[in-house]
Amino acid sequence: MLEVRQIDVRYGKRTSVSQLSLHVKAGEIVTLVGGNGAGKTTTLKAVSGLLPLAHGEIWFCGERMDALAPHQILAKGLAHVPEGRMLFKDMSVKAHLELGSLRTPAHAASFNDTLAWVFELFPVLKERSQQLAGTLSGGQQQMLAIARGLMSQPRLLMLDEPSLGLAPIVVHTLVDIIRTLHAKGLSILLVEQRVDLALQLAQRAYVMESGQVTLSGAAADLARDPKVKQAYLGLSL
């Protein structure tokens, strides 16, 4: 479904991501894990068209995407829920969801049908549909950011640090929602600060260091890898 082929991404003269390749098959949850500054967020921004490539190619559903603008990539069925949520604090919940629906793939379901589905996933957003985003709790804001992404009816959803700063009970709710979306056939590319959680959710994983993939494989296998345990799971050898 998604193929990232040997990409380089630069900020000015500094290379942030180098010769990175990864793929996501239809119906998979794949995770990118690594320390701060490893290039995970940069990779997602490159895939969604927010950052240009210095080298390499990005393909989605058999079509090359790296020359397209972000709104065109979204319309192809690839949605990005960014780190930090990026909500408009003076815009209502309902307005955010309407904004999310502006770019949908061909033959998409109706706005009302998609809205009903999103409200079923996030009933608190239905209760607060007229409330301003800036007045929501952190967990509710994260739910809104994900819901906004889902309103575009994506085939692949990229989630960047969905649990960041959230209480454990809210994280548990989000994990259930991610699993529900996956069970419905949605493909997911996940960046998550909690490596233990990411490896539990995903089928496959890529470990990034200094802008490059250093390990990859089945998530369950990487969770047992001594190097991963020591570096990211807080366990000694």
For the cut 50, the answer to whether the pLDDT of residue 235 exceeds it is no
Report helix angle 93-100 to 138-150, nearest 10. 30
Q: Does 8 have pLDDT greater than 90?
A: yes
| Nearest to 96, CA basis, from 138, 137, 142 | 142
Burial 15-47 (b: 16+ CB within 10 A, else e): bbbbebebbbeeebbbbbbbeeebbbbbbbbbb
| Cα separations in angstroms, 34 against 51, 153, 213, 216 | 20, 29, 9, 12
Question: Is the predicted pLDDT of residue 105 greater than 80, yes or no?
Answer: no
Structural tokens at position 54: 């210095």
Report d(CA 136, CA 141) in Å as an integer. 6
Does residue 218 sit in helix, strand or coil?
Answer: strand
Name, in order, each residue with C-beta under 8 angstroms of 234's C-beta and a sequence gap of 6 or more: none
Summarize pLDDT for 32-83 with one digit per residue, the tens. 998 888 899 999 999 999 999 999 999 999 999 999 999 999 989 999 999 8
Asked whether residue 229 carries a pLDDT value surpassing 50, the answer given is yes
- For residue 103, the model assigns a pLDDT of 74
**H helix or E strand, kind and range, residue 80:** strand 78-81
Alpha-carbon distances of 224 from 197, 219, 237, rounded to whole Å: 14, 9, 11
Per-residue model confidence (pLDDT) at position 128: 93
Structure-derived torsion over alpha carbons of residues 188, 45, 83, 141, reported in degrees to the nearest 10 = -70
- DSSP for 8-39 reads EEEETTEEEEEEEEEEE-TT-EEEEEESTTSS
pLDDT at position 236 = 39
Kindly report the pTM of this predicted structure. 0.89
User: Do the strands 29-34 and 204-209 form a parallel or antiparallel pair, or are they unpaired?
Assistant: parallel
Q: Alpha helices, DSSP H only, in the chain?
A: 40-47, 70-75, 93-100, 111-121, 123-127, 138-150, 168-183, 195-201, 219-224, 226-232
**Binning pLDDT at 50, 70 and 90, where does residue 107 land?**
low
Instruction: Please write the tens of the pLDDT for every residue from 112-169.
Output: 888 999 999 999 999 999 999 999 998 999 999 999 999 999 999 999 999 888 888 8
